[in-house]
Amino acid sequence: MSAPLLGMTGIVKAFPGVRALDGVDLDVRTGEVHCLLGQNGAGKSTLIKVLAGAHQPDEGTIEWNGEPVSLTTPIAAMRLGIATIYQELDLVPGLSVAENVWLGHEKATAGWTKRGETRSATRDVLRRLGHGEISPSMEVRHLSAAGQQIVSMARALSHDAQLIVMDEPSAVLAHDEVANLFRVIRELTSQGVAIIYISHRLEEIRQIGDRVTVLKDGRTVATGLPARTTPTREVVTLMTGRTIEHDFPERTDDAASDELLRVENLTLPGVFEDVSFSVRAGEIVGLAGLVGAGRSEILETVYGARRPSHGRVLLDGQPLKPGDVTAAVRRGVGLAPEERKSQALFLDHAVTHNITAASLRRYSRLGWLDRGRELSDAREQVTALDVRPGDPRRPARTLSGGNQQKAVIARWLLKGCRLLLLDEPTRGVDVGARSELYALVRGLADSGVGVLLVSSEVPEVLGLADRVLVVREGRIVHEAPADELTEHDVLDLVMSGASPVSHGSGTSNGDMS
């Protein structure tokens, strides 16, 4: 058999704090759809960036048609025939379809663009994709997400790409658009183009994929599995591995404690509707649901970062001023947001300053900062939470994901917050550090803090929370104690809205509290 189109062996890529790729092997044949699977943080995005020439691997070899190559720049990758279609489509909205397709390699003579030729070449490429109806002169911002994806693919073809990497292409598409995407992919593979297809949806992989490679913790754990026949159980086991079971801390009985948070009929039009629930002091309440179901937005609205159109949020029976973060913080609410780096951290500033950012008032006398006390308090938190490295004067940038998360939680511990909102607290957190975070959160709850937790990982919600609210399409469709739910129950609810047989009305809306 001849050499594969693309062969990657032993790829290693380290960043400060984490080895994102730690020995990845991947081979892709001409004309196949090769699926790449792995959990969040398994290294998929880094691998794509290596392929796109955006990251240079520290170790390992890449072969193209059997020849060793180095993808030093995105242009080098493109010249070779590797095109990448990112999840966030990288088109220029104000330019036309044709201009976007030929961006960077315009058809031109001495700098003068050949408009006619560009248009007809664009039309050819679009027709090849089965989308002759898209006008080359249309501005890209007027196209739907599906249409923009076609333009991205047309751009790939304009580079004579032989390998197209698609990062979760179906995530931005509606259901019927996915079928069309598959049609386009089949069209491409029949022309000999290879596809690396990344998706979380196993169902899709079964439909479109030929072979599967599974990544876990930056390593290839299986490669070349047949996409259609490998049992789901086997794939899932490979992805999660049997080693990353977490020890969830013991639940403690706190049924008698007082209600801390009450949310009444909260509505943010188009995002979530008529959401009511409550959290008691010392209780961990989990919001389970798909990305985009409105979970994070509920959290942000409780926090005052978004202003609801209806409903109210009460803390200790007193309403919180809607849309006012400062007021919420003053009342003792804290948020560890989903996008830690962009929403919570001052990456270039010392860990100390990150930890004390919400408590500056405490160290100020007439605006004057008591920096000695500030540092010693921060140091105390760093020690208590075992943040590593333990020097609080280092910039937050130098910490790993798990330790950055600890610093964010330390901010609210120091503030003495009574209601902690956690949005995907273990995203980007190393496997080993997760159990520590779980223990930390449980410890907080035991000390009387109410916790509202959002996570896409169902086991995390079930393992950590006392009570689970299932959110689907902006509504709470079910509520139950965590130990009465199984993952299958939750997934069924999340996907279909159907209530598990063993429980009563699945559409009950917080009235169980």
Tell me which residues in 198-257 interact with another protein (CB under 8 A). 200-203, 206, 217, 232, 235-237, 239-247
| 298 in contact with another protein (CB under 8 A) | no
Contact between residue 397 and residue 386 where contact means Cβ atoms under 8 Å apart: no
| 504 in contact with another protein (CB under 8 A) | no
SS3 467: strand
Give the residue among 181, 121, 112, 114 at the shortest CA–CA distance from 146.
Answer: 181
Is the CA virtual torsion 271, 277, 282, 284 positive or negative?
negative
| 494 in contact with another protein (CB under 8 A) | yes
Residue 194 or 344 with smaller CB distance to another protein: 344
Residue with tokens 């509606």: 174
DSSP string, 421-442: EEESTTTT--HHHHHHHHHHHH
CB of 174 vs another protein, minimal distance in Å: 14
Question: Quick one: which segment of 71-79, 122-130, 147-155, 490-498 binds another protein (CB under 8 A)?
Answer: 490-498
| 388 in contact with another protein (CB under 8 A) | yes
Contact between residue 196 and residue 113 where contact means Cβ atoms under 8 Å apart: no
Kindly tell me which residue out of 183, 228, 307, 349 binds another protein, with binding defined by CB under 8 A: 349
CB of 189 vs another protein, minimal distance in Å: 22
Angle at 479 (CA atoms; ends 476, 285), nearest 5 degrees: 95
Residue 42 or 146 with smaller CB distance to another protein: 42
Other C-beta atoms within 10 Å of 255: how many?
8
| 346 in contact with another protein (CB under 8 A) | yes
Interaction pattern, residues 354-383, with another protein; x per rule: CB under 8 A: ---xx-xx-xx--xxx-x------------
Other C-beta atoms within 10 Å of 512: how many?
16
| 495 in contact with another protein (CB under 8 A) | yes
Q: Which of residues 457-486 bind another protein (CB under 8 A)?
A: 457-459, 462-463
**Cα gap 189→330, rounded to integer Å:** 58
**Cα gap 248→41, rounded to integer Å:** 20
- How many H-runs (helices) and E-runs (strands) does the chain carry? 16, 24
| 95 in contact with another protein (CB under 8 A) | no
Separation of CA 5 from chain center: 30
Residue 85 or 239 with smaller CB distance to another protein: 239
Interaction pattern, residues 8-37, with another protein; x per rule: CB under 8 A: ------xxxxxx--x--------------x
Contact between residue 474 and residue 290 where contact means Cβ atoms under 8 Å apart: no
Give the residue among 114, 112, 22 at the shortest CA–CA distance from 59.
Answer: 22
CB of 369 vs another protein, minimal distance in Å: 6
| 409 in contact with another protein (CB under 8 A) | no
Stated length of the chain: 513
Kindly calculate the radius of gyration of the chain based on its CA atoms and give it in whole angstroms: 25
Kindly tell me which residue out of 64, 102, 277, 303 binds another protein, with binding defined by CB under 8 A: 303
Query: Site size for another protein, by CB under 8 A?
Result: 82
Contact between residue 287 and residue 480 where contact means Cβ atoms under 8 Å apart: no
Give the residue among 343, 305, 345, 311 at the shortest CA–CA distance from 327.
Answer: 305
| 404 in contact with another protein (CB under 8 A) | no
Kindly tell me which residue out of 192, 270, 416, 432 binds another protein, with binding defined by CB under 8 A: 432
Tokens found for residue 25: 């092997």
**Is omega for the bond preceding 226 within 30 degrees of 0, making it cis?**
no
Question: Quick one: which segment of 145-153, 178-186, 194-202, 375-383 binds another protein (CB under 8 A)?
Answer: 194-202
Residue 266 or 328 with smaller CB distance to another protein: 328
Residue with tokens 């948020």: 335
CB of 368 vs another protein, minimal distance in Å: 6
Residue 285 or 399 with smaller CB distance to another protein: 399
CB of 344 vs another protein, minimal distance in Å: 5
Tokens found for residue 479: 């509520």
CB of 44 vs another protein, minimal distance in Å: 12
| 335 in contact with another protein (CB under 8 A) | yes
Residue 101 or 451 with smaller CB distance to another protein: 451
CB of 458 vs another protein, minimal distance in Å: 5
Other C-beta atoms within 10 Å of 73: how many?
13
Residue 67 or 484 with smaller CB distance to another protein: 484
| 149 in contact with another protein (CB under 8 A) | no
Residue 191 or 486 with smaller CB distance to another protein: 486
Residue 142 or 488 with smaller CB distance to another protein: 488
| 439 in contact with another protein (CB under 8 A) | no
Residue 92 or 495 with smaller CB distance to another protein: 495
Residue 17 or 448 with smaller CB distance to another protein: 17
Q: What are phi and psi of 59, to 5 degrees?
A: -140, 170
Residue with tokens 């000390």: 447
How far CA 63 is from CA of 169, 192, 211, in Å, comes to 25, 18, 19
| 496 in contact with another protein (CB under 8 A) | yes
